[in-house]
Amino acid sequence: MNFTEKNDFLVQHTSAVHFDDDLALFNKHFPNSRLHSELRRANSYTRPKLDGMMIWELLGKISADEILKNRKVMTKEPTVVEPSTEEQPVEEPTDGEPSTEEQPVEEPTVNPEELKSKKKASTKNSRK
């Protein structure tokens, strides 16, 4: 496998989701690799990068098909919901039914005299 093919495979198949499967295969084929010290400290941020490094090393020793066969099959595939092309009829409310449209929210009214008294009380407390 040449560099371009390896790189294309790496870009397509590097994933933190398959990190554990790739790690088991990597440990089997490279038990004394220098990469093991980094793999022990792997976290959610470094897993994709380390998975790519493991795949690169594995592609030098085994085929891409073997790497893909080693990965566990995802039990639940993501489902894509396609938007409906049909327009849904809009029901008009009748006179007896409440409207489904949002009514404007009225702001609570504030008595200006009440505000002045609260302001005076707060300034008296702060001067003490």
User: What's the confidence (pLDDT) of residue 75?
Assistant: 44
User: What's the confidence (pLDDT) of residue 65?
Assistant: 92
Sign of the Cα torsion 98, 104, 109, 115 reads positive
User: What's the confidence (pLDDT) of residue 111?
Assistant: 72
CB 58 within 8 A of CB 67: yes
Burial category of 28 from C-beta neighbours within 10 Å (exposed 0-12, middle 13-18, buried 19 and up): exposed
What are the average pLDDT values for consecutive 10-residue runs of the chain, which has 128 residues? 91 91 94 92 93 94 92 58 58 60 65 70 59
User: What's the confidence (pLDDT) of residue 57?
Assistant: 94
User: What's the confidence (pLDDT) of residue 110?
Assistant: 66
* Residue 56 amino acid letter: W
Q: What pTM value is reported for the model? A: 0.55
Write out the two tokens for 107: 């702001």
